[in-house]
Structures are given as structure tokens and as C-alpha cells.
Structure 1
Amino acid sequence: MPRQDHISLRWGRSITVIEGNVRRAQFVAPFGPGAMQVLSDGTSVITAGLDHWFTPVSDTPIDVESFRIHEWRLEKYLGVSALLLPPDYRRRSTHRRDQTNTGLSVPVLRFPAWSFCPKCRALTKQPLHTFERQRCSSCASTARPKGPSLSQVPFVCMCENGHLQDFPWLQWVHSSVSPHCPQSKLELRSSGGGTLASQRVTCRGCNKSRPLEGITSTCQGKDGDEESTTLTQELEHGTEYSCRGAAPWVGLEETGKPCGAPLRATLRGASNVYYALVKSSIFIPSTQTGGVDPEIVAMLQKGPIASALATLYALLGEESDFSARQLRGASKSNKKLLDEFSDLRIEQALSAVKSNGSKEDLKPSTNTADEAPFREEEYSTIRSVIESPDLVVREANGKHESDVSVLISRIRLVEKLRETRALWGFNRIFAESDKGTVDRAQLLRRTNLPPEDSWLPAYTVMGEGIYLEFDSEKLTHWESGERVSQRLRPVSEKFSTIAAKRRLNDRDVTPRFTLIHTLSHLLINRLTYECGYSSASLRERLYVSPGESGMAGLLIYTAAGDSEGTLGGLVRMGQPGRFESVLRGAIAAARWCSSDPVCIDSRGQGPDSCNLAACHSCGLLPETACESFNRFLDRGLVIGTLSHPDLGFFSHFN
């Protein structure tokens, strides 16, 4: 499988390959549909919508099934019938006739459309599908007949509903939502300062001029209740200039369906222009395939046999039943892969895969904030011993020390796991949003597909991990303490205020979640010293729900797209004699932070002030490793505080 793909500008039948390679996984995050990037030749482009990802560029047929990722739980949760790998670029061979999927590439469009001449500073606009670098004809000379190359403007506009458009240069300089200048000729000049006030746009047709000061600022709306922007409120006095609903990545360059949200200008390279929304899932075997040979099931779900199966479905229909003999015939030269299996075993696997892949109930979740229901199946599987092609969970060899097992009742060694990460939408301005899965998924394409034909881009990674589960009786007794519940009240109140302001999904910040989350961070920081993995290559996965019978587990695992994370070093740290030293080291390191006593006595720090005793010196991780943006952390609930040393769950652990 190629690790890199050529990015090409493609619109209609025109193709121009420009320099730039992007790893396949990066088309899921951070360069999915609607995301901008700068290519090696300096061109700023935006990734086109999913409508054009598998468009044939020649007579070569496309076998979409070869890009298929089989993850039944994630498909059902997101309400789609398939998860597909982004297409990789494959050159056509002159020696083979039965080639498929050659010449495919992920199309991009040139954005922003406005450019300026670095010499005369003239502003001009080109179409989204302009393929070649544009040059300034006004500055052409005998020595330089083509003129200097134009540079794309550094500003774009966006709204919190996910729309994106060019900065309204004409409207801004004329201070009018509908300008009527007959000879508009714009220039963008700088007085040399380092602020937006030094950037000025001028119209030579009517000699109007206006600085860009305040275009990225927020302000109060007319009613004073909701937040608005300076661009929306002050572009034209007395008239609001709100979002026009533009979506250039799907071809809606000027306007789509106006959404009325405040429009905010920003630098095109700002981090808040695009937040990929990625849903991940640890693969677990379906209960509907119980008793069926897992090796046959794996062959029916990926590889050449899966392609043959898709061909039969295309010919005979999705609801058809067919025999092992028909599958062997459709497999052609690959039928030898099925020779060691009897017809009965193959037909049992066919029946199981078909029932598992049923297109019924493809209804996306409307609440993406509540992970507990989705993770209960993973929790019930991973806490037990299991061996399958994509998930191997074993018990440790021997028993862990009693002082560890009395607090952590279950430790499992996950020797093999497969994680699937799917892009289901994106946000702008804020990393989180209260919009549902359906609303954000609609941003990825121009034409919505019926559930039975819908798909989302995804990729898989393999890894290993350690699963830990807290003793439910001791945990329930600990979290029922009055001081424990009162400690998190400031954090819960702060987050509720932020959630209301940003229209986020509110959540209950519980002592159970904070304890397990904080211990996960402490263990990851310790494991980087013990097993050699970097903190960025480790990830956490929390299994938490309220009640004595609720979930109280965590999975620390590696799931990287490269060779790191598959050498068994993390699994060995879960064995008796090794895990005890890791846990003791993590707890000992948590007892004193280099920022103490400021850190341990904090009443709010970190992102959105949603942490108590946790800072960069003790409890924070790279954001790729944390599920909650480094929020809801507190060492005090783990090891106690200076005023209440018995408060922590591990206060008496040595």
C-alpha cells in the first residue's frame, strides 16, 4: 500500500498534477474535505468534497471494494454503509490489461481565489479551478514578459457552521454590502507595521481606502445577548454582513444557502480554520459471527476474496444468497485461497458476514459527546480473554502484587488491536460543537447520498496496549465521599459556562472520570521512560460510566501508522513485576510537581481553566494522546492535596 499520494488539481476533465505528496491518513486528518494546505510550490489549495474522490480519469475501471474498511460498529454509529480508504495514486502499467484504480487522486482547488501582485499590489480574482500560477499582466515588461507571479491573499472568512469564503474586499473598502463602484480596481498595501491597522485596501476607481483593523475581532451583537464579529457588524453601518453559506470545496464559491451566522476573518493558516472530527473504534468481532471460522470471515472482509464477494453482490443483488461454489468461481485465480476450507464452512461465514453487514438501522447518532453507549461493547469484550485476527487479549502470566490488585482488579494484555479512525465532519472556529453527526457529515459533500450508498473516509492502524480496570466496590465507596464530590464543583461550573457560551454539549464532570483520566496521563508519562515509546505515540481510551456496575476502565495503547508501536514493549509493561514498578513510579512522580505548591493548590488552570492540580510539568500530554483536549485532570483525586492528604484514591499506595 503506497504511503504517499500525489495531490492533483482536478475539476471537470482537466487535470494538472502539481508538486506535493500527502500521506493517506492525512486526508482523514488534518487535510480532509474543506481543509486548506500550502503545497511545495507555494500554492494554497483546499481539499475537494467527497463527491469527486473516486472520479475516474481514464477508461480504467474503479474497484471501490479494494478501498473498503470493514468496521461494522463504526458504520452503524455513523449511519453509513461503508468506510473507504482515501484513494492512492497508482501509475498505469503498459504491460497489464486487467488494471484497476490507476490514476486516482484526491482533487484540490486553488483557494483563496483572490491574489495580489507583490510589485504593484493590485488585487485580482481567479476561478477556483485555475491550474497554473497566475502572473500580473500590468507589470509585464520586455525583460519580464510574463510579469511577476501573483501571491494569494493571507485572509479568508469563516463561520462557526463550517462555511468558508474569500474575504469581501469590494464590500469592505466601499463599506457597503452591495457596492456599486463602476471601475473597481483594488490594491492591498502595507505601511510596514506588524498589525492589521497597517494593512490597507484601496480602490483606485473611486479613491476609497480602508484599513483591515478589527476584521478578526469579536464584539456583542445588536441584541447584546450573543457574540458577533466586527466584520459582520461594522462592514456597513446599520446593516449586518452575515455568512453567505459559501463552500468552495464543493464548488459553492460565492454563496450557498445563507446561514446568517456572524462572519469572522482570519489568517488562512490559523489553527482554528479547520478541526477534523474523527471517530475511532477498536475492532471487536461481531457476536453474529460466533462459532464461524474467523480466518474465513477475515478473507471475506478484505483482500481479493472480498472483491469477488462484492462482484457477486453487484451481479445478483444485495439480498441474494449464493453458494460457496459460486464464490470460488467469482474468485477466479484467487480461488486457491479457499481450497483448504469446506463448502459448509464457507457458507456459514457468508451467512454471518451478510447478517453482520445488513444495511438496516443505518441511523447516525445524534449525540457524539456521549461515548459510553458506543464503548460498552468494547468494554465487555476487551476485559475478557479473546483471540481473533484483529484483536488478541490475554491474561498476565501470574498474579500482580496484592496492594495493586486491591485497587486495580483487572489487568489485561492487549497483544494486538486494530483501530479504525473515520472522518465524519469538521468544525471551524471552535474545536467542539453541539451540532450532530448528520449536520457535520453534510459538510463533506455537495450531494447527500442515501444511507445505503453513503460512505466516509477512514484508515486503520494496528497496535498493542494495556487494559486496566478499577475495583468497583472501592471506587464507588471513594467517590461517594463529600470532599471528593465537592472538589470538582468549580471545574464543573466553569465548563458549564463555557459550554453555554460556545454551544457545546454539556457533560457531567465526575470524580470517577477525572480520577481515571488523570491516572491515564500519569501512566503514559511514566511509560515513556520505561518502555521507550514517545508520549505522542501512546494514546488513551477511557471506559467510564456512573454507578457501581458502571464502566471503570482505561486502555493505554499504541496505534501509529508507522513501525513504532508494534514491538511488544508496551504489553510487557503489564506483566507482574513490571506493572507494579510503573504504577509506583507514576504515583511517586505525581506526589510532587516542579510547579508546586502553585499547581496542587490551583482552583483552575489549563485549557478553559478546567484542570485543578495538573499542568505541563506533571499531568498534560500531547493533544493527540488525550481524548478530552487536556481537560478534567486533577492530581489531588489521585494522591491527595496538601490540606487533605487522604483525599486521593491512591493516597495510601506506596
Structure 2
Amino acid sequence: MPKGPIRRAQLIAPYGVGAMIVVRDGTSLITAGLDHWYERENGRDDVDRSEFRVEEWRLAQQLGVDHFRLPPDFRIIKGESVPNAYLTIPFLRFPQWHYCQYCGHLKELKLPQRSKEKCPKCEEQKRNRYLVQVPIIAMCDRGHIQDFPWREWVHRSDNPTCKKPMRLVGTGSATLGGLSVQCECKAKRSLANITETRPGDNGSETTFLSKHLNEKHDDDSDRQEFLCQGKRPWLGTEESEPCSRPLRGSLRSASNVYYSQVRSAIYLKRGNDSELISILEEPPISTLIELLAKGNVDLITPDCLRGQHPQLLQPFSNEDIKVALNGILSEEDNNSDEIFVEGDDPETHFRRPEFNVLRTERDEKQLKIRKIDLNDYDPDIAQYFSQIMLVDKLRETRALTGFTRIFPENEQNINLLQALLRRNPLPPQDSWLPAYVVYGEGIFLEFNERRLQQWLIQTGDAVQQRIQPLVQRYQQVQEKRHLRDRPLMPRFILLHTFAHLIMNRLTFECGYSSAALRERLYISDNREAPMAGVLIYTAAGDSEGTMGGLVRMGKPDYFEPMFHAALEDAKWCSADPVCMEIGARGGQGPDSCNLAACHNCSLVPETACEEFNRFLDRGVVVGDINNRSLGFFYLR
């Protein structure tokens, strides 16, 4: 069986459930569903799953699950007993169609099978050649994926009767048009255009593969579209589920074959608790509480817990433990810091508690924040920011909630996305999602709200007119792909672009790579409870925080030079004037949803950006070439 190493964090993104990976021997695999994680290949059930349990109460409430689990790590026994040794993550071989690189012979190999199989046609000629997996697959925008319909495609019929051998022949061209499928019955067809979309009936959108596979009828009215068959090979089944979406061909290595849907949360303490909650929510005590809760909740008493784990609970009184237990076992929301603001969308509502906490000093086990007096900075800093907070330590939990294909997002809700991860649903009291916990440090910048309002008033309609082409382009993409509705306001584009400019500058100042930094935006235009905050942070999964290099850049005498250098870099891009002026001529970047923002000035690795490098414009930050006063950071 093919084997290969993979890091824990990669099992959340980019190689989560349903993703494809090529291991060392060249075998293409797809990550299996969650049904058989934490199980041994020999069927033995001696795995202590409680060791991998992770608690993140806010994220669990948002996603509707009981808890999270860390992906298992592979351990080898060396002379002493090692718990949960030799645990692996199941992967399945995909695609199942193979071909010979020498003669082109196509053959479907059903699982299970050997890692390699000799080409039967070459064996007849006394040649020793092996079959390899085909480079083409087919998928739909609802997450389904399947082998490319080779036999149907070459015979131009969704129900071909010919079962003769086929060949995949290449002409040496670098495009798919240089590949063709040939059957011994003399049927032949090129793979040109199989990845393209086509306009459908009634203004809908279809694909070239779905629309043109059936070409046995000359009359278009008799031609039936070949739609997705609802295949889910990552769940280890050949059963199909109903799906009526168009089917699209793709290279199996294409970047749009898989998009992880990851939700994250900064850990906040529950209500008015202390570190005691953290102790009770983590193994080994959380395991004991979980077992007792399945029997009789009344058995969960301070004396019972203290009898099993006296050292962990020694600093706390029975009354403290009782109060903490009531908070954990209660189904009610115990977050006293939460604020309900009318008009907030779910994500804004979720981030408000984080925004409120990041604005205050904290000294907790999972969150340490210091406030720096703005008077210690240069005078112009207070003009733009109301607070600068240094986050010495934070804990972030990143959970895999599902995945999409073809497009980074679609209209599927969280329940449909989670349903893609497993074949058999779990009861709510035992439901879980894979997650990864990382620790890091950061800088939190809260913009001066008075200055923001002054900027919007002084620029009048000029800023709105500048970003209007971006808004219109997103609306077009939104209608075509059924994306979520979102207001693209100047405040959002300003903070988002500023975060990118600061991250790019920090890579030169504090030594972190561009992929090591992340942004987290806190934005709301609500007049009663506005938000305008940016958290730039780094998180390392293999250590308890980092070495303080990022926090240092937020201190006086370090922050000002970095801040001014970032703005100076933003005023002139090496691609200007084209970069600055291209917004009025169609935009640039993903979905053409950027104005003055390119790889030379504002883009960052997609893992560092919350918006896939969209909705960026240097013009609202430092103004354009002809009108610097348009920018928020224009000095008067």
C-alpha cells in the first residue's frame, strides 16, 4: 500500500478530507472521510481518542459540534509503552483509471489493488511497462469528484455499448487539445475544452463537458446534458447521491480541485472563569467528565474529580470547581462579554467578543495582552490609531468545516459542507470536527474612529466612486457563482489593504516569512457599535508561542519606522502607473476584484489573507497618483 508522511496541520489545510495528494512513489491519493480516523487497520479498538480532544467553546457553538479533535500523529514504540502508537490517517487511491505512458493503453483498476500493475498490451509485446494514474479527473461545484468519463466521452454517448480497449494518445502539445482518446472501434475524440464553461438554457451556466458529451443527436433539442453523478470516492463508496450540477473536466493537479473551508477562533475565557476552566476542558479531566456525563451528571462533583486528579485541582477550592463545572455543563451561553448588535451578520457577531477582548489588557494562560500608551509614539500615530495592543501570547483553533471545488466559496451552508466530511452522521452529543491548535503572538491596531468618520466626510463620494468598479465586478461574480452577499465599504477595503501592506513590510523588518504572518479583521459600519481593528499575528503549531520578534515591532521606536516605510512603499509600485490605473480598466487579481494591488505591492500568500487576495486598493490608503488626499493616511 502506498505510504507517505504528512504534517498534522496539512490535514486541516490544504490536504483535508476530500483533497488529493501525490506521495513519494508517485501514487495519487485522496484523503478519506472522518468515519475511519482514529481506527487501526487491523480492526483493534485500543485507541484512546480522548488524548486528541480539543475544546474551543465559542467555535463549537458556532459550528454546532460537541468538540474538536487533533489529527493523530504517528508514533513508533521504542523500548517503552507509547499510547496510541502506529496510528495513521486513511487515504484512498484516486483516480482509478490508469494508462500506459508507453503505448497509451487505458484501464480501470478497482480497489483494492497493488501499488503498481503492468500494462497488459506491453506484456504481449514482451515489454515491461507499468500503468500510471491518468492526469484528468471530473468534478462539480458541490464537492463531488469522479473519474473522467473516458468511454462515454470518446463514444459521444452517456450509455455506450462498446467495451473495446481504449488508448490515451498525446501529440506533444502543451494543451489538453493535444490529448485524445481513441477506441479500437475507430472512435476518436480530443480533450480540448473539457475544462471550460458554456452558457446554458434560460441564462444558466453549464460546462463544455456536460453540454457536448452527448453528440449522437444532430438536433440540440434531443441532446441530454451529462450531469454530475454525485460520486464521493473519499468516503470509500461507489454509491452516488443526487446531483444535477454540470460536470467539469480538470487536471488532477489543478489548484481549484480543492478549497479547504476553515473556521478559526481566538481562545477567550468562558464568562468570568479563570484557568480552572482550561484545566477542566482538557484531558485527562475532560475525559473523566465526559464519561460521567454519559451516565449520571449528578456524579460529577468536586470530590469525585479531586479524588482522581488531586494534584491538578489542589490550588482550587470545591466551591471554585463547582462554579466552573456549572459553566461547562450548562447549555446556555456563559460569555458575559458578548454583545448583540442588531444588523450584524454571523461572522461579525462572532468576532465582536474577540474585538472587545483585544482592546483590553489581559494576563491569562491562553491570552496575554499589553497596552502601550500612544503618547510614547510619534504624534502622528495617535492621529490614525486609538489603541496599539501587543499580544504576547494567543491561542488559535483552526477547524476544518468542509470543502468546495472549482470556486473558493459557494452558497452551501455549514451543514451541507460538514456533511461532505463523513458518510455516517454522528449524534449531536458526540459530534466533532478535525482541528489544529496553534500558539502565537501579534500586534492589534485599532483605528481612530473619529478620524475614519472625518476621512469619509472629507472625501465625500470620491472614495465610493473609486471602489464602485470593484463592487460591481464582485456583484457579477456573486450572481454567477451564488456567493454570499456582502457589503464592500471603504472602511473594509482600507483596513484590509493596510493589513497587507503592514504584513509585507514586516517580512523585511522582523524576519518572518510572508506565509508565517496572518491577518484577522474586525470591521463593522454599525453606527452604534463600529469596529475598525486589525490583528497581525503569527502562529506556530510546534511551539508555545514564538520568540517575540513580531511583538517587538509594535513597540515605540520600532513601530513608527516600519509604519512609515509601509506607507512609502505603497505610494509607488514597481508596476505603476499601470497598477494604480488598471482598476478603471477592468481590475486585476482574483476575479478582477482588486484595484491598485498586485504582487509587487499588496498581495500576500493566500494562507495569510482572509479574502483570497481580493478587495484590495492602495488608493484608499495613500491616495492615487493624481489625488493623494483621497487616501486615509494623507497628512494634512
Pair in the same fold by TM > 0.5: yes
Deviates more, 1:99-108 or 1:621-630: 99-108
Deviations 1:225-280 (A, max 9, x none): 12211211111121211001001011233x51231111011111111110111111
TM-score, with structure 1 as normaliser: 0.89
Shift of 1:100: 4.4
Name the residue aligned to 1:176. Answer: 157
Q: Which amino acid aligns with 1:515?
A: L
C-alpha distance in 2, partners of 1:24/1:298?
Answer: 23
Pick the aligned partner of 1:228 from 198, 206, 212.
206
Shift of 1:618: 1.7
Shift of 1:607: 2.2
C-alpha distance in 2, partners of 1:509/1:477?
Answer: 19
| Alignment partner of 1:265 is 2:249 | yes
Is the 8 Å Cα contact of residues 161 and 427 (structure 1) preserved in structure 2? yes
| Alignment partner of 1:76 is 2:61 | yes
C-alpha distance in 2, partners of 1:252/1:175?
Answer: 27
Larger proportion of helix: 2
Q: Which runs of 5+ in 1 are unaligned?
A: 1-15, 360-366
Shift of 1:540: 0.8
Shift of 1:355: 2.7
Name the residue aligned to 2:376. Answer: 399
Name the residue aligned to 1:386. Answer: 362
Is the 8 Å Cα contact of residues 394 and 545 (structure 2) preserved in structure 1? no
Q: Which amino acid aligns with 1:173?
A: V
- Which runs of structure 1 show a deviation greater than 6 angstroms over 4 or more consecutive aligned residues? 141-144, 356-359
| Alignment partner of 1:354 is 2:335 | no
Q: Which amino acid aligns with 1:460?
A: V
| Alignment partner of 1:118 is 2:101 | yes
Name the residue aligned to 1:538. Answer: 517
Pick the aligned partner of 1:54 from 38, 45, 62.
38
Name the residue aligned to 2:231. Answer: 246
Name the residue aligned to 2:178. Answer: 198
| Alignment partner of 1:614 is 2:600 | no
Pick the aligned partner of 1:149 from 101, 112, 130.
130
| Alignment partner of 1:325 is 2:303 | yes
Deviates more, 1:595-604 or 1:67-76: 595-604
Shift of 1:370: 5.4
C-alpha distance in 2, partners of 1:156/1:120?
Answer: 20
Q: How many residues are treated as equivalent by the alignment?
A: 613
Shift of 1:297: 2.1
Pick the aligned partner of 2:407 from 430, 437, 448.
430
- Residues 415/551 of structure 1: CA separation in 2 closer, same or farther (3 Å cut): same
- Residues 54/410 of structure 1: CA separation in 2 closer, same or farther (3 Å cut): same
TM-score, with structure 2 as normaliser: 0.91
C-alpha distance in 1, partners of 2:345/2:90?
Answer: 32
Is the 8 Å Cα contact of residues 60 and 101 (structure 1) preserved in structure 2? no
Shift of 1:94: 7.3
Alignment of 1:534-613 (within 5 A): 534-548=513-527, 549-562=529-542, 566-603=546-583, 604-613=587-596
Shift of 1:80: 1.0
Alignment of 1:5-84 (within 5 A): 16=1, 18-56=2-40, 57-84=42-69
Is the 8 Å Cα contact of residues 622 and 633 (structure 2) preserved in structure 1? yes
Q: Which amino acid aligns with 1:262?
A: P
Deviates more, 1:350-359 or 1:521-530: 350-359
C-alpha distance in 1, partners of 2:117/2:497?
Answer: 53
Shift of 1:351: 2.5
- Residues 131/531 of structure 1: CA separation in 2 closer, same or farther (3 Å cut): same
Q: Which amino acid aligns with 2:551?
A: V
SS in 1 for 2:581: coil
C-alpha distance in 2, partners of 1:466/1:305?
Answer: 34
What is the root-mean-square deviation in Å for CA atoms of aligned residues? Answer: 2.4
Shift of 1:326: 1.3
Deviates more, 1:61-70 or 1:595-604: 595-604
Shift of 1:369: 8.1
SS in 2 for 1:570: helix
| Alignment partner of 1:305 is 2:277 | no
Is the 8 Å Cα contact of residues 393 and 545 (structure 2) preserved in structure 1? no
Name the residue aligned to 1:363. Answer: none
Q: Which runs of 5+ in 2 are unaligned?
A: 216-222, 335-342
- Residues 58/93 of structure 1: CA separation in 2 closer, same or farther (3 Å cut): farther
Q: Which amino acid aligns with 1:569?
A: G
Deviations 1:608-635 (A, max 9, x none): 2222222222222121211112221222
Shift of 1:562: 4.5
Deviations 1:190-222 (A, max 9, x none): 233333333222222x3322222222222222x
Pick the aligned partner of 1:525 from 504, 522, 535.
504
C-alpha distance in 1, partners of 2:333/2:614?
Answer: 38
